[in-house]
Amino acid sequence: MKKVEICGISTSQLPRLTAQESEEMMLQIKAGDQEVRKRFVQCNLRLVLSVLQRFEMRGENSDDLFQVGCIGMIKAIDNFDLSHGVKFSTYAVPMIIGEIRRYLRDNNSIRVSRSLKDIAYKALKAKEELSNLKDGEPKIADIAKYIGVSEEDVVVALEAIQLPVSFYEPVYQDSGDKIYMIDQLKDEKNTDKKWVEYIDLAEAVKKLSSKERSIIDMRFYQGKTQSEVAKDIGISQAQVSRLEKNALMRIKNQI
């Protein structure tokens, strides 16, 4: 990683911890040593910076996100349980991501009602608690029953707090160039094939007689019935039907 400075902190000056040092310091923190806790936070700021890369295309102030991420890391330190036998980073990264996402949701330009947010946060908490109890992913019905609301309310609330995704958000990066969201999108309307078909149709219509063009225009672009077309141009409906059929056949053959 490149050395960067954020919130007045230079990553080149941040200390590194071994797994053993991290475990020993965590034991001291659990025993109430505030100085060690402060130093442990300092040693793990790189962890917050690594998470920030996931949100670099959001257009948010990186210093603000860094501080929010630090709050998530501090919560992870306070709630970390050594008995689970996992690395601190494994536990902390989801906590940091969750804190940043919560901040982005609350400060989103798309406003969501407080009642929906409350249901969504209860649902997320219930999902975590049920996952721990059942050792698996709970269903929407289980979550709804757990928090005492309908399944529809849970679905709507969870969808309401989803963050909008930038077209230029990276979805994959290997050793080469990044692949962005916009690279995965396909325009079904304005493809080359559609444009060619439109040009062919326009050329075919040009070769019709003026009366046939008028009938095609009124029938398929203005949405009029054969009776209305007959009345407008002063011929019978049977004649309109015959001219329309012949015109369509000529267009089809031309294309």
Q: Note the pLDDT tens digit of each residue in 81-132.
A: 888 778 888 888 888 988 888 888 777 655 667 787 788 888 888 888 888 7
Residue 131 Cα distances to 88, 90, 125, 159, angstroms: 20, 17, 10, 20
User: Where is the domain boundary, 60, 87, 108?
Assistant: 108
Identify the three-state secondary structure at position 200: helix
The CA-based angle 162-49-4, given to 5 degrees, is 135
| pLDDT computed for residue 239 by the predictor | 92
pLDDT of 194 higher than 70: no
Q: Is 234 exposed, middle or buried (0-12, 13-18, 19+ CB in 10 A)?
A: exposed
pLDDT of 170 higher than 60: yes
User: Where is the domain boundary, 73, 108, 143?
Assistant: 108
Residue 49 to residue 9: CA distance in whole angstroms: 11
Range of the domain at 239: 192-254
Q: Check whether residue 99 and residue 197 sit in a common domain.
A: no
* CATH number reported for the structural domain that contains residue 242 in this entry: 1.10.10.10
112: Cβ–Cβ under 8 A, 6 or more apart, which residues?
A: 105, 160, 161
Whether residue 69 lies inside any domain: the answer is yes
In the chain, pLDDT over 90 holds for what percent of residues?
13
Whether residue 132 lies inside any domain: the answer is no
Q: What is the pLDDT of residues 228-246, one digit of tens each?
A: 999 998 999 999 999 999 9
* CATH number reported for the structural domain that contains residue 96 in this entry: 1.20.120.1810
User: Where is the domain boundary, 79, 108, 137?
Assistant: 108
Q: Check whether residue 197 and residue 104 sit in a common domain.
A: no
Whether residue 120 lies inside any domain: the answer is no
pLDDT: which is higher, 127 or 170: 127
pLDDT of 1 higher than 50: no
| pLDDT computed for residue 240 by the predictor | 92
pLDDT band for 169, please (50, 70, 90 cuts): low
Q: Check whether residue 3 and residue 98 sit in a common domain.
A: yes
Query: What six digits make up the tokens of 83?
Result: 């008995």
| pLDDT computed for residue 167 by the predictor | 66
pLDDT of 2 higher than 60: no
pLDDT of 190 higher than 70: no
pLDDT: which is higher, 54 or 125: 125
pLDDT of 140 higher than 60: yes
Count of structural domains within the chain:
2
pLDDT of 152 higher than 80: yes
Average the pLDDT over 44-67 and give the result.
Answer: 80
| pLDDT computed for residue 242 by the predictor | 92
* Phi, psi angles (nearest 5°) of residue 9: -110, 125
Whether residue 37 lies inside any domain: the answer is yes
pLDDT: which is higher, 135 or 123: 123
| pLDDT computed for residue 243 by the predictor | 92
Whether residue 83 lies inside any domain: the answer is yes
Whether residue 159 lies inside any domain: the answer is no
| pLDDT computed for residue 120 by the predictor | 84
| pLDDT computed for residue 236 by the predictor | 92
Residue 102 to residue 121: CA distance in whole angstroms: 9
Contacts 24+ apart (CB under 8 A), 84-93: 87/19, 87/22, 88/22, 88/26, 88/44, 89/44, 89/47, 92/44, 92/47, 93/47, 93/51
